[in-house]
Amino acid sequence: MKHKTIINLSDVYEDQANIYLVFHQYLGCEINYRYEEILSSTETMIAKIIYKLLEAIHHIHSHNVIHGNICLDNIYLKTDKLFDLCLANFS
Q: Give me the pLDDT at residue 91, please.
A: 57
The pTM score is: 0.74
For 50-88, the pLDDT digits (tens) are 899 999 999 989 989 888 888 888 888 888 877 788 888
Cα torsion for 67, 85, 89, 3, to the nearest 10°? 60
What are the residues facing 55 on neighbouring strands? Answer: none
C-alpha to C-alpha distance for 30 and 51, rounded to whole angstroms: 17
Q: Are 1 and 65 in contact (CB under 8 A)?
A: yes
DSSP code string of 17-51: S-EEEEEPPPSS-BGGGGHHHHHTS-HHHHHHHHH
Query: Across the chain, what does the average pLDDT equal?
Result: 85
